[in-house]
């Protein structure tokens, strides 16, 4: 398809029934016509049925030209009238306009209708209404289904092929025309370079041409092409919106249904504009506009313009916020260019487009419910949000809350940090070398003992003495009292139905923050060990942030206090306790050495950390590996030893088989706020309730008014 569409549009200028580009420049006189497109179309059908194909060609061409001219006049008139109204507002006090905004809206609606009516009559004369059936025929290009055969019968083979091609753009599944197209393509004179549409959509034509440049690795030309394509797209979007204003003018029931009802029709029409623009060959292309910025971010990167690439990646995320690969690209662009994530912003034209489309969608949703005859007895239930959280005392009226959302200030932050789903930027004073933090005693006796050089890889470290021997024993005891086989992986089981384990040579048991907190309520453990579990893991999170000098904070994706214990009588002395893997992609999924970031991988995980609690066992080394799973570096666990690393394919890792019992706190972090571990907040709530029960709420508030470690949410 792309090969057929990427064609020079110079052929179009030679077609005698196309409206000239300077049409509106010459609209300075009253233009009256004896016939309009519906009459000409019917005359063409009459001649066609009489097999007078020369006359049919003439009438169909004139009908198409008149239809196009009428639409251009409508667009010109609507645009001119809207601009005239906007200028009129410039002479008035803004406060006065806003004081009675409903009155201003009614004034614009009536002015627009009268103004465009006079304007159209100036250029087209008085015209009768066209039947919906004929308008539908022109919308779906059915005239071309007749015109192609008329061309063929009059010896205009190439025009006939183009007419068939043009019809198939809106009706790609029409088998009759598909068969005709096969015949045309079998003719020597009909070559692919001649197959262009009589109704070209410039933004799509330019898009496929730019894609071709990209595929040919002509990245500077691709950049230029996609930028031109986007300009055409937004022009087409504005034209589509203007055409929707026809709803104001054509609604003959204005007096009965009211202006509000008329505007709902306009909203419904405008909501279809992005869909129409994304329809190629009769099929809607998913994420059509976002694809432009996807190509652009990579084209700019390949052309050596990293900041432009970061801008386009940020813009893409406004349109498709859950694309993990784009988030990773944006992180890389920012790292490579040393750019501040708050300074990189989405493009203004896309922000405006996004705001419009989002607001129109929401207004339409509420307006349709409001005007539904079955719901005319107004009730706040119409405005309830099924996904909204349970009401608090100050938010009991959900209908009022949603209504207030429509007048609250819009989010003005369209930076790379927010659109990538990251938390707020850390202050410069926080982003300092880890050695400075260690000297200040922030992490007590902790010391970095192995860096990237010793570990033969990037984005990895080992720190010792992170917690004391006494604290190791406390956490080991917490695991002994509360760990359950397979806990934390309750949705998995072994083939024989036994609790989950990575190997048949060992058992796998764990403690999550919630299960630890519930153990307090059940009287199995005291509060202090659970507090240590939560607080030490938060210190680990902070250490990873500081070591890698991250610009934005980390959030917990998953927390696990886990123990692996060898089973007695195991036949294999050497085995793998945890197979080599990446924490956010699927190793070897698409072939040896590949690691695609897609479901079921936890693609949002960015960093990982492990804190070992004991060393009285054999084996159990943590290993970093090459993609072929040969070992790069091995780390022997011991009390207070912490390993931290980025979670991507650059840090493939695993665990060698254990003989004995090996325990550790395992943590996975994300930079994206929406993946914050909610169970941790539940655990904290349970711990606080336990403390309240022990010392009383008032005493607790005094005792814990200034916690040593604040959460990011509290910050």
Q: Which residues does the annotation mark as catalytic?
A: 662
Walk across the sheet containing 484-485 and list its strands: 447-450, 460-464, 642-646, 605-612, 661-670, 555-566, 506-511, 484-485
* Residue 417 to residue 305: CA distance in whole angstroms: 20
Helix (H), strand (E) at residue 662: strand 661-670
C-alpha 228/C-alpha 225 separation (Å) is 5
* Core vs surface per residue 674-683: b (16+ CB within 10 A) or e: ebbbeebeeb
Q: Are the beta carbons of 27 and 123 closer than 8 angstroms? A: yes
- Tell me whether the omega of the peptide bond preceding residue 628 falls within 30 degrees of 0, making it cis: no
Mind giving me the DSSP string for 164-202?
HHHHHHH-TT-HHHHHHHHHHHHSTT--GGG---SS--H
Chain centroid offset of residue 551 CA: 22
Q: Which of helix, strand or coil describes residue 55?
A: helix
Rounded CA separation 211/119 (Å): 41
Residue 320 near residue 288 (C-beta atoms within 8 A): no
Q: Which long-range contacts (CB under 8 A, 24 or more apart) does 432-436 make?
A: 432/546, 432/549, 433/549, 434/543, 434/546, 434/547, 434/549
Q: What is the DSSP string of 364-375?
A: HHHHHHHH-GGG
Q: In this structure, what token pair is assigned to residue 503? A: 């190997």
* 664 beta partners: 562, 612
Q: Are 354 and 318 in contact (CB under 8 A)?
A: yes
- The CA angle 52-53-55, to the nearest 5 degrees, is 75
Q: Which two tokens stand for residue 661?
A: 């019992």
CB 672 within 8 A of CB 556: no
């Amino acid at each position: 398809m792309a090969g057929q569409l990427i064609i020079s549009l110079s052929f179009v200028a030679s077609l005698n029934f196309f409206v000239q580009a300077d049409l509106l420049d010459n609209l300075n006189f009253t233009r009256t016509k004896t016939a309009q497109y519906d009459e000409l179309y019917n005359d063409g059908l009459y001649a066609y049925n009489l097999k007078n194909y020369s006359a049919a060609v003439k009438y169909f061409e004139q009908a198409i030209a008149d239809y196009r001219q009428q639409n251009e006049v409508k667009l010109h008139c609507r645009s001119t009238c809207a601009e005239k109204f906007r200028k009129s507002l410039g002479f008035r006090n803004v406060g006065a306009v806003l004081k009675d905004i409903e009155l201003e809206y009614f004034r614009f609606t009536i002015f627009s209708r009268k103004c465009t009516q006079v304007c159209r009559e100036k250029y087209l004369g008085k015209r009768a209404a066209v039947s919906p059936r004929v308008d539908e025929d022109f919308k779906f290009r059915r005239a071309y289904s007749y015109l192609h055969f008329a061309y063929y019968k009059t010896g205009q083979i190439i025009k006939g092929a183009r007419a068939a091609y043009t019809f198939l753009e809106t009706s790609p599944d029409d088998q009759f025309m598909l068969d005709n197209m096969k015949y045309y393509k079998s003719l020597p004179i009909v070559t692919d370079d001649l197959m262009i549409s009589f109704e070209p959509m410039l933004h799509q034509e330019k898009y496929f041409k730019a894609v071709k440049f990209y595929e040919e690795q002509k990245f500077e030309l691709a950049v230029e092409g996609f930028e031109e394509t986007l300009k055409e797209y937004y022009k087409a979007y504005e034209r589509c919106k203007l055409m929707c204003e026809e709803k104001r003018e054509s609604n003959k029931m204005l007096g009965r249904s009211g202006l509000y009802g008329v505007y709902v029709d306009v909203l419904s029409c405008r909501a279809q504009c992005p869909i129409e623009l994304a329809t190629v060959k009769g099929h809607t292309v998913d994420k059509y506009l976002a694809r432009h910025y996807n190509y652009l971010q990579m084209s700019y990167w390949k052309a050596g313009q990293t900041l432009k690439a970061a801008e386009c990646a940020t813009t893409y995320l406004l349109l498709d916020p859950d694309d993990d690969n784009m988030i990773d690209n944006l992180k890389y662009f920012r790292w490579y260019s040393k750019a501040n994530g708050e300074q990189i912003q989405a493009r203004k034209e896309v922000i405006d487009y996004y705001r419009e489309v989002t607001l129109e969608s929401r207004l339409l949703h509420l307006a349709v419910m409001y005007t539904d005859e079955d719901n005319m007895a107004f009730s706040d239930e119409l405005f309830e949000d099924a996904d909204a959280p349970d009401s608090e005392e100050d938010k009991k009226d959900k209908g009022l809350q949603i209504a207030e959302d429509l007048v609250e200030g819009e989010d003005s932050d369209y930076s790379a940090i927010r659109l990538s789903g990251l938390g707020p930027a850390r202050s410069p004073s926080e982003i300092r070398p880890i050695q400075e933090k260690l000297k200040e005693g922030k992490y007590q006796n902790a010391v970095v003992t192995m860096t990237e050089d010793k570990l033969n890889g990037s984005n990895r470290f080992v720190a010792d003495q992170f917690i004391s021997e006494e604290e190791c024993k406390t956490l080991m005891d917490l695991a002994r009292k509360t760990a359950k086989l397979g806990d934390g992986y309750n949705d998995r089981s072994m083939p024989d139905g036994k609790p989950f384990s990575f190997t048949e040579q060992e058992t796998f048991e764990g403690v999550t923050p919630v299960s630890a907190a519930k153990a307090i309520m059940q009287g199995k453990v005291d509060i202090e060990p659970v507090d240590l579990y939560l607080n030490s893991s938060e210190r680990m999170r902070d250490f990873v942030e500081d070591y890698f000098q991250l610009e934005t904070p980390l959030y917990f994706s998953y927390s696990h206090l886990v123990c692996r214990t060898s089973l007695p009588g195991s036949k294999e002395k050497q085995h793998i306790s945890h197979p080599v893997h990446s924490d956010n992609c699927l190793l070897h999924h698409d072939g040896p050495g590949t690691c695609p970031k897609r479901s079921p991988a936890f693609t949002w995980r960015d960093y990982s950390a492990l804190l070992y609690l004991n060393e009285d066992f054999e084996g159990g080394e943590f290993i970093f590996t090459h993609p072929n799973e040969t070992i790069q570096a091995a780390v022997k666990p011991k009390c207070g030893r912490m390993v931290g690393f980025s979670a991507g394919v650059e840090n493939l890792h695993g665990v060698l088989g254990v003989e004995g019992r090996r325990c550790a706190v395992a943590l996975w972090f994300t930079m994206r706020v929406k993946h914050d571990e909610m169970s941790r907040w539940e655990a904290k709530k349970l711990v606080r309730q336990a403390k309240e029960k022990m010392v009383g709420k008032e005493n607790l508030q005094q005792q814990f008014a200034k916690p040593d470690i604040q959460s990011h949410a509290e910050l």
